[in-house]
Amino acid sequence: MSENMKNKPILTSLVAAALAFTGNAFAGEDHEDKMAGPNGGRVITSVEPHLEFFVTDDRKVRITAVDDDGKAVELGEQSVRLTGGSRSNPTRMSFSKAGGSLVSDKAFPEGNHLPVVLLIKADPEAATVIEKFNLNLDDCPGCAYLEYACTCDHEH
């Protein structure tokens, strides 16, 4: 049995547990030092290079590598998997390179408030970084971005 097959049940359990606990845990996120990416998406700073998480008009996800100033840079060997949406029937997305970004194979289901768990690998041998947050697709009343990418400090 390959190493990936041995780890799949553990990884699946980890993602399910992370989705179960996203709930309102991020409702009061601190927006200090937040920046929007070049497409107007949320910048994930826990990985290098940073990654912009952007939901397109057709509800697919575009992941773009960005530098510390939020400018797009060339993708390396990053790989991303996403689980989100309904906890009882989650949407699982994989990504492929397209036009300098990674684009999801599926779109998010209907709704503006969806839990998200991202599994990010900088390269095939790197440890998996887990990012989890509530995807809020409502307009922000204080800035030009959607709530999930908001950079202002209004009350959430």
Extract the runs of DSSP E, i.e. beta strands, from 10-136: 42-44, 50-55, 61-66, 79-84, 91-98, 101-104, 113-121, 129-136
- Render pLDDT for 37-86 as a digit per residue (tens, 0 to 9): 999 999 999 999 999 999 999 999 999 999 998 899 999 999 999 999 88
C-alpha distances out from residue 96 to 57, 77, 150, 155, Å: 18, 11, 26, 36
Stronger pLDDT, 125 or 31, i.e. the higher one: 125
Q: Does residue 33 lie within any of the structural domains?
A: yes
Q: Does residue 156 lie within any of the structural domains?
A: no
Q: Are the C-beta atoms of residues 130 and 139 closer than 8 Å to each other?
A: no
CB-neighbour burial class of residue 96 (10 A; exposed 0-12, middle 13-18, buried 19+): exposed
CA distance 94 to 79: 9
pLDDT of residue 19: 46
Q: What is the pTM of this model?
A: 0.78
Number of domains in the chain: 1
User: Domain range for residue 86?
Assistant: 3-149
User: Which 8-state DSSP code applies to residue 31?
Assistant: -
Q: Does residue 154 lie within any of the structural domains?
A: no
Q: Token digits for 106? A: 């599926």
CA distance 46 to 119: 12
Q: Are the C-beta atoms of residues 70 and 112 closer than 8 Å to each other?
A: no
In the predicted structure, residue 5 carries a pLDDT above the cut 90? no
Mapped onto helix, strand or coil, the DSSP state of residue 38 is coil
The CATH number linked to 22 is 2.60.40
Percent of all residues in the chain with a pLDDT value above 70, rounded to a whole number: 77
Q: Does residue 155 lie within any of the structural domains?
A: no
- Render pLDDT for 125-140 as a digit per residue (tens, 0 to 9): 999 999 999 999 999 9
Tokens 């503006």 correspond to what residue? Answer: 112
